[in-house]
Chain A
Amino acid sequence: MKETHSTRKKEFIELLSPHRDSLYRFCMHVIWDKNSAEDVLQEAILHAYKNFDNFQPGTNFKAWLFRFVINKIFDCNKRLKKDLQHVIPCQEWDIIEHLEKEEAYASILENPSVFFEKVDDRIKDALLSLTSTERMVFLLKSVEGFTYKEIAQFLEIPIGTVMSHLFRSRGKLGELLAGYARKMGFVRPTP
């Protein structure tokens, strides 16, 4: 019995280890308050461990873990789940068109690596400017690499809503980055 527990624990930790940073970052970026984020993460991992017998080997362990984390976040922030259902209507193309015309944004596109080296910590502030729902969807897709379908299942929203939140969050981030570029004088020389 003791040996079974030990094997089970070892197996869980082996599967968990490669995702520890992803889980930590996701909690920190969504919740922001360090103590609350750590509490949520620990509770979620422990809950996942308690339910480890339900995990089907061969399926996506990372996705299985994220379900527990997202559910814990929802427990902490009841409003978030409600907010996810609502999408503020926006003309998606208008955002792209607007950004394309934005001189500062064009400068970022010209040399992204230089720009990102300069802005550094302000990128986090940009992420904080997004709503919790936009931030969550953006992190799940762009940073953690989940599919639209997986995100829709995690958040219990339609795929179309996932796409709208994602498009909106990318547009907002683009505008914020352009704002930083302007403030920093990071504008391409006029030909």
Chain B
Amino acid sequence: MRCQDYRKYLSPYLDSELDARTCADIAEHLSVCLACSRFFAQEQEVERQLVKSFQKEKMPEESWRTVLGRINAYDSPRPRRFRLAWLVPAVVVPTAVMVVMLIFLLGKAPDNTNSLAEALQDRHGKYLSKEISIGPGLTWPQGFEGLTVIKHLPQSGLMGAHEVRLIGSQSCYIKDIECAHVMYSCCNTPVSLFILRKEDMSGLKSAQRLLDKGKGSAVVNLGNTRLVMKDLREVVVCCISSHDTGELLTAFERL
């Protein structure tokens, strides 16, 4: 190689980045070529001086203190600051708890079937104890006259093996719902029949669920008496008696 060829490797040679073989070749040439040896040495010195002039600057103490201060500040416990992001869990969590509680309460608490049954049983008991009387004649809550079930109310006669007789009707309120209390005598046993409009029963979720579960029919045992509920599309008929009211209710179902 000529001197010029060796000098092309000046930069990687000064940087000690040449492979061992090339490096040895150059070293060998420098040992015999005074001009190249001098050139390489001078270039090396220029580089050294250049680097030296860029290495003069030192980090000011103030800057170093700032760096240390930031490291210390990062490690020390920081005062809790209010962050907008915290609002999300702070609002969402209690709201979610309240929603769950509301669902639970709405599903459980409001007028369950038992409380409806108790209210009906109470009304039936008052009739039996003569606290209330339902005489001959039919009185309906406003708007009830037009209902199919009222128009085709079973009258006196034999229904299967049962002798049924309509005593009378009266409008009343059961759990704040206006309904018709119709009294029947079935085989000489008093039968209270309550007619409730379905549209008024939105608050009676448990009763509705019970009817849905029984595909429009539900039975609740109340000790000596029994409550049978039938869903007849526009109305729900609740029959309460100690007697078997199957035949009577079948008559309603035919409507």
Chain A residues engaging chain B, CB cutoff 8 angstroms: 5-6, 9, 12-13, 20-21, 23-25, 28-29, 38, 41-42, 45-46, 49-50, 92-93, 96-97, 100, 108-110, 112-113, 115-116, 120, 123-124, 127, 139, 141-143, 147-148, 163, 166-167, 170, 173-174, 177
Chain B nearest CB from A139 CB (Å) reads 7
Contact indicator B55/A25 (Cβ below 8 Å):
yes
Chain A nearest Cβ from B63, distance in angstroms: 6
Q: Are B57 and A92 in contact (CB under 8 A)?
A: no
A143 to B49: give the CA distance in the assembly, Å: 11
How close is B57's CB to chain A, nearest CB, in angstroms?
A: 5
Within 8 Å by CB of B50, from A45, A123, A148, lies A123
Is B75 at the interface (CB under 8 A from chain A)? Answer: yes
Q: Whole-angstrom distance between the alpha carbons of A50 and B113 in the complex?
A: 63
Per-residue A-contact encoding for B52-88, CB less than 8 Å = 1, 0 else: 1111011100011011101110110000000000000
- The answer on a CB contact under 8 Å between A123 and B53 is yes
Chain B residues contacting A163 (CB-CB under 8 Å) are 11-12
> How many chain B residues touch A (Cβ–Cβ < 8 Å)?
35
Q: How far is the CB of B25 from chain A (nearest CB, A)?
A: 18
- The winner among A5, A142, A148, A166 for most chain B CB atoms within 10 A is A142
B199 interfacial by beta-carbon distance below 8 Å: no
Looking at chain A's contact residues, the main secondary structure is helix
Q: A13-B71, A167-B11 are in contact. List 19 more A-B contacts (CB 8 A).
A: A20-B67, A21-B55, A21-B58, A23-B59, A25-B55, A29-B54, A41-B67, A93-B8, A109-B42, A109-B45, A112-B42, A112-B48, A113-B45, A120-B53, A123-B50, A123-B53, A124-B53, A127-B54, A170-B11
Instruction: Report the bound CA distance from A78 to B11 in whole Å.
Output: 29
**Cβ of B48: which chain A residues have Cβ within 8 Å of it?**
112
Judge whether B51 and A143 touch: CB under 8 Å: yes
Q: Count A-B contacts at CB 8 Å.
A: 99
| Residue among B4, B10, B45, B74 making CB contact with A46, cutoff 8 Å | B74
B43 within 8 A of A: yes
Known contacts A21-B57, A28-B57, A147-B17; A49 and B11 CB within 8 A of each other: no
User: By the criterion CB–CB under 8 Å, are B67 and A45 in contact?
Assistant: yes
Which A-B residue pairs are the 10 nearest by beta carbons? A24-B59, A109-B42, A116-B49, A123-B53, A112-B49, A20-B59, A112-B45, A112-B46, A21-B58, A25-B57
Q: Is the CB of B54 within 8 A of A143?
A: yes
- Which among B4, B39, B54, B57 has the highest number of chain A CB atoms within 10 Å? B54
Q: List residues of B whose CB falls within 8 A of some A CB.
A: 4, 7-8, 10-12, 15, 17, 39, 42-43, 45-55, 57-59, 63-64, 66-68, 70-72, 74-75
Residues of B within 8 A of A142 (CB): 47, 50-51
| CB closest chain-B residue, reference A97 | B4
- Distance (Å) between the CB of A101 and the closest chain B CB? 12
**CB-contact partner of B71 in A29, A49, A166, under 8 A:** A49
A57, chain B: closest CB distance, angstroms: 19
Contact of B15 among A124, A127, A141 (CB under 8 A): A141
Query: Which residues of the partner chain B approach A167 to less than 8 Å between Cβ atoms?
Result: 11
Chain B residues positioned under 8 Å from A92 (CB to CB): 8
A38 to chain B minimum Cβ distance, whole angstroms, is: 6
With a 10 A CB-CB cut-off, give which of B12, B42, B49, B52 has the most chain A CB atoms.
B49
The CA of A121 and the CA of B41, in the complex, are separated in Å by 24
